[in-house]
Amino acid sequence: MKKEENKPAGKKGFSRRNFLRGTGLTAAGMVVGTKGFAGEFAPAAAPVYGPDEVPVTLSVNDGSYQTLARPDEVLVDTLRERLDLTGTKLVCGRGACSACTVMVDDKPVCSCLTLTMEVQDKKITTIEGVADGDELHPIQQAFIDEDASMCGFCTPGMIMSCKSLLDRNSNPSLDEVKKAVRGNLCRCGTYPHVFKATLKAAERMG
Amino acid sequence: MRKEKFPIGIPGVNLREIEREVPVTEPPAWPINDKLKHVGKSVKRTDAILKVTGKAKYTADINLPGMLQGRMLRSPHPSAKILSIDTSAAEAFPGVKAVYVLRSNMSGAEPKGGEDNGYPEIKYAGQAIAGVAAKDGQTAEEALKLIKVEYQTMPFVVDMDEAREPGAPLVFEQQVEQEETGGGGGGAKGLEQQGNVRGPSTKSFFGGPRGDVEQGMAEADVIVEGIFRTQVQTHSALETHGIVADWKPDMLTVYASTQSTKGVRSEMASIFDLPESKVRVICEYMGGGFGAKYGAGNFGVTAVNLSKISGQPVKLMLDRKAEHLAVGNRPNSWQELKIGAKKDGTLTAIKQESYGTAGIGLGAGVGRVAQAVYECPNFLTEQYDVFTNAGPGAAFRAPGNPQGAFALEQLIDELAEKLGTDALELRDKIDNSVVRKEERRLAAKAINWSRRKKPGSDTGVIKRGIGVAQSTWPRLIDIDSTAEVRMYRDGTVEIRSGVMDIGTGTRTILSQIVAEELGLEPEQISVKIGDTLFPNGPASGGSKVSGSITPAARNAAYKAKQEILKQAAPKMEEKAADLELKDGMIVSKTSGKTMSFKDALKQMRTSQIMTSASREDDYGGFMVGTFISHGDLGSVQMAEVSVNTETGFVKVEKIVAAHSCGRPLNPMQIQSQVNGGVIQGISYALYEDRVMDKNTGHMLNANLDQYKIAFSMEIPDIEVINIEEYTARSSTDAFGIAEPANIATAAAVANAIYNAIGVRLYELPMTPDKVLKALNLV
Ligand code: FES
Ligand code: FES
Q: Is ligand 1 within 6 A of the CB of residue A100?
A: yes
Distance from CA of A41 to the nearest CA of B (A): 23
Q: Is B149 exposed, middle or buried (0-12, 13-18, 19+ CB in 10 A)?
A: buried
Report d(CA B442, CA B444) in Å as an integer: 5
Does residue B282 contact residue B530 with C-beta atoms inside 8 Å?
yes
Q: Taking CB atoms and an 8 Å cutoff, what residues of chain B touch A81?
A: 136-137
Report d(CA B186, CA B138) in Å as an integer: 36
Q: Considering the domain boundaries, does residue A9 fall inside one?
A: no
pLDDT at residue A43, as a whole number: 52
In sequence order, what are the beta bridge partners of B210? B379
Does residue A117 contact residue A109 with C-beta atoms inside 8 Å?
no
Question: For position A178, which CATH number holds?
Answer: 1.10.150.120
pLDDT in tens, A76-132: 999 999 999 999 999 999 999 999 999 999 999 999 999 999 999 999 999 999 999
Helix axis angle, B401-419 relative to B423-430, nearest 10°? 110
pLDDT at residue B571, as a whole number: 96
Q: Is ligand 2 within 6 A of the CB of residue B238?
A: yes
One DSSP character per residue, B584-652 reads TEEEETTT--EEEHHHHHHT-SSSEEEEEEE--PPTT--SBTTTEEEEE--EEEEEEEEEETTT--EEE
Q: Which residues contact A149 (CB under 8 A, 6 or more apart)?
A: A143, A155, A158, A190, B45, B48, B51, B52
Q: Which pLDDT band, with edges at 50, 70 and 90, does B181 fall under?
A: low
Q: Is ligand 1 within 6 A of the CB of residue A99?
A: yes
Report d(CA B571, CA A195) in Å as an integer: 54
Range 209-228 of B in CB contact (< 8 A) with A = none
Q: Taking CB atoms and an 8 Å cutoff, what residues of chain A touch B239?
A: 89, 91, 151, 153
The answer, for B320 touching chain A at a CB cutoff of 8 Å, is yes
Q: What spacing in Å lies between the alpha carbon of A1 and ligand 2's midpoint?
A: 17
Residue nearest to atom 3 of ligand 2 (CA): A186
- Kindly tell me if the per-residue pLDDT of A28 is higher than 80: no
Q: Is B192 exposed, middle or buried (0-12, 13-18, 19+ CB in 10 A)?
A: exposed
Report d(CA B704, CA B709) in Å as an integer: 8
**pLDDT (average), residues B122-141:** 97
Q: Which pLDDT band, with edges at 50, 70 and 90, does B186 fall under?
A: confident
Report d(CA B226, CA B762) in Å as an integer: 8
pLDDT in tens, B420-451: 999 999 999 999 999 999 999 999 999 999 99
Q: What spacing in Å lies between the alpha carbon of B736 and ligand 2's midpoint?
A: 19
pLDDT in tens, B106-124: 888 888 776 778 899 999 9
CB contact under 8 A, A193 and B718: no
Give the total number of structural domains in chain A. Answer: 1
Q: Is the peptide bond before B313 cis (omega within 30 degrees of 0)?
A: no
pLDDT in tens, B16-66: 999 999 999 999 999 999 999 999 999 999 999 999 999 999 999 999 999
Q: Give the DSSP letter of residue B39.
A: T
Which three-class secondary structure string do you get for B381-424?
EEEEEECCCCCCCCCCCCCCHHHHHHHHHHHHHHHHHHHCCCHH
- Kindly tell me if the per-residue pLDDT of A32 is higher than 60: no
The answer, for B751 touching chain A at a CB cutoff of 8 Å, is no
Range 440-499 of B in CB contact (< 8 A) with A = none
Domains and CATH numbers, chain B: 1-31+433-476+629-778 (3.30.365.10), 36-50+478-617 (3.30.365.10)
pLDDT in tens, B699-739: 999 999 999 999 999 999 999 999 999 999 999 999 999 99
CB contact under 8 A, B503 and A152: yes
Q: Which residues contact B89 (CB under 8 A, 6 or more apart)?
A: B146, B147, B148
Q: Considering the domain boundaries, does residue A18 fall inside one?
A: no
pLDDT in tens, B586-596: 999 999 999 99
Q: Considering the domain boundaries, does residue A144 fall inside one?
A: yes
- Kindly tell me if the per-residue pLDDT of A23 is higher than 70: no
Q: Considering the domain boundaries, does residue A52 fall inside one?
A: no
Report d(CA B750, CA B756) in Å as an integer: 10
Helix ranges, B239-287 (H)? 261-271
CA dist list (Å): B158 to A141, B235, B353, B392: 48, 19, 21, 12
pLDDT at residue A46, as a whole number: 66
Report d(CA A78, CA B238) in Å as an integer: 20
Q: Is B650 exposed, middle or buried (0-12, 13-18, 19+ CB in 10 A)?
A: buried
User: Quick one: what percent of chain A has pLDDT higher than 70?
Assistant: 77
pLDDT at residue B491, as a whole number: 95
pLDDT in tens, B663-704: 999 999 999 999 999 999 999 999 999 999 999 999 999 999
pLDDT at residue A11, as a whole number: 34
CA dihedral B569, B575, B578, B579 (to 10 degrees): 0
- Kindly tell me if the per-residue pLDDT of B135 is higher than 60: yes
Q: Give the DSSP letter of residue B477.
A: -
pTM value is 0.94
Distance from CA of A189 to the nearest CA of B (A): 4
Distance from CA of A28 to the nearest CA of B (A): 7
Domain containing residue A142:
130-206
**pLDDT (average), residues B637-650:** 98
Q: Taking CB atoms and an 8 Å cutoff, what residues of chain A touch B58?
A: 86, 153
pLDDT in tens, B566-613: 999 999 999 999 999 999 999 999 999 999 999 999 999 999 999 999
Ligand 2 site-directed mutation target among B51, B235, B238, most atoms within 8 Å of CB = B238
Q: What spacing in Å lies between the alpha carbon of B505 and ligand 2's midpoint?
A: 12
Distance from CA of A52 to the nearest CA of B (A): 12
Q: Which of A4-8, A115-119, B624-628 shows the lowest mean pLDDT across its residues?
A: A4-8
Give the one of A87, A181, A191 whose C-beta lies nearest to B55's C-beta. A87
Q: Considering the domain boundaries, does residue A197 fall inside one?
A: yes
CB contact under 8 A, A136 and B504: no
Instruction: For residue B321, give the amino acid letter.
Output: K
pLDDT in tens, B491-550: 999 999 999 999 999 999 999 999 999 999 999 999 999 999 999 999 999 999 999 999
Q: Which pLDDT band, with edges at 50, 70 and 90, does B354 fall under?
A: very high
Q: Considering the domain boundaries, does residue A77 fall inside one?
A: no
pLDDT at residue B707, as a whole number: 98
Q: Which of B183, B51, B53, B10 is nearest to B508 (CA)?
A: B51
Q: Is ligand 1 within 6 A of the CB of residue A185?
A: no
Does residue B413 contact residue B422 with C-beta atoms inside 8 Å?
no
The answer, for B703 touching chain A at a CB cutoff of 8 Å, is yes
pLDDT in tens, A145-154: 999 999 999 9
Q: Give the DSSP letter of residue B210.
A: B
Q: Nearest ligand to the C-alpha of residue A187? A: 2
Instruction: For residue B47, give the amino acid letter.
Output: D
Q: Average per-residue pLDDT in chain B? A: 96
Residue B595 backbone dihedrals phi, psi, to 5 degrees: -150, 140
Does residue B321 contact residue B706 with C-beta atoms inside 8 Å?
no
Q: Is the peptide bond before A51 cis (omega within 30 degrees of 0)?
A: yes
Q: Tell me what ipTM this predicted complex has.
A: 0.97
How many beta-carbon pairs under 8 angstroms link A with B?
A: 180
Q: What spacing in Å lies between the alpha carbon of A98 and ligand 1's midpoint?
A: 5
Q: What spacing in Å lies between the alpha carbon of B677 and ligand 2's midpoint?
A: 12
